[in-house]
Amino acid sequence: MMRRGFGPEDEYGVPTEIFGVHDPDFFPLLGRVIALSSVNERNMRELARKLVIPERCNIATTRTSEVLKEAKKGLGAISNEADRKLVSEYLNNVESCLSKRDAYAHSLWPAISLQHGTRVVGWRIKPGTSDLHLGDDFAELRQDVLRFSELVMRWNLKIHLVTDQLRWLQPIGETS
């Protein structure tokens, strides 16, 4: 396809010169990882709203890393040790998920042609960060889709129930 005179385009009209030609599964997998991460971030912020004193951290406008830090400081609000451990583990998993999301979302993804096929490398623009190397089967990306889905379901099935016992503070975005 070539509509705008920039050379061959993919099915969405993006010139192939920009990203190259990717396996049809690549961008749907990448999109799912990023979308699932957004759900995990929202759930974490909802949890933080229950754990954090509003004067210390405006959950709606504070950077995600700071909200996570404050939520971890607020774990003492959970009196049951097993529940506190469960929520702490959940927050650590969300932190890992969001770090991985940032690596995926802030990388460039050109398809690199090799003698024996194509591999995908996520090049990081930010100095001091490492590139992501995905094999032809995108096993790591597929695993992250499953892992991040499981994290959402863990919230749905357990974490929010554990933390419902906590005091309810102001809904996200509201001020007193």
What's the domain range around 108? 21-163
Spatial separation of the C-alpha atoms in residues 105 and 19, rounded to whole Å: 14
Q: Give the mean model confidence (pLDDT) for residues 157-170.
A: 68
pLDDT value of position 61: 85
Higher pLDDT, 139 or 88: 88
Average pLDDT in the chain: 81
Cβ 26 vs Cβ 112: under 8 Å: no
Residue 96 falls within a domain, yes or no? yes
Phi and psi, residue 100, nearest 5°: -65, -40
Over the stretch 38-54, which tens digit does the pLDDT of each residue have?
999 999 998 988 887 76
Residue 146 falls within a domain, yes or no? yes
Q: Structural domain tally of the chain? A: 1
Burial annotation 109-127 (CB, 10 A radius, 16+ → b, else e): bebeeeeeeeebebebeee
Q: Is the pLDDT of residue 156 over 80?
A: yes
Q: Is the pLDDT of residue 121 over 90?
A: no
Residue 28 falls within a domain, yes or no? yes
pLDDT exceeding 90 applies to what percent of the chain?
Answer: 36
Residue 172 falls within a domain, yes or no? no
Residue 84 falls within a domain, yes or no? yes
Write out the two tokens for 33: 């990882």
pLDDT value of position 172: 45
Residue 173 falls within a domain, yes or no? no
Determine which of 16-25, 28-37, 60-69, 158-167 has the lowest per-residue pLDDT on average: 158-167
Q: Is the pLDDT of residue 167 over 60?
A: no
Residue 15 falls within a domain, yes or no? no
Characterize the bridge pairing of strands 107-108 and 111-114: unpaired
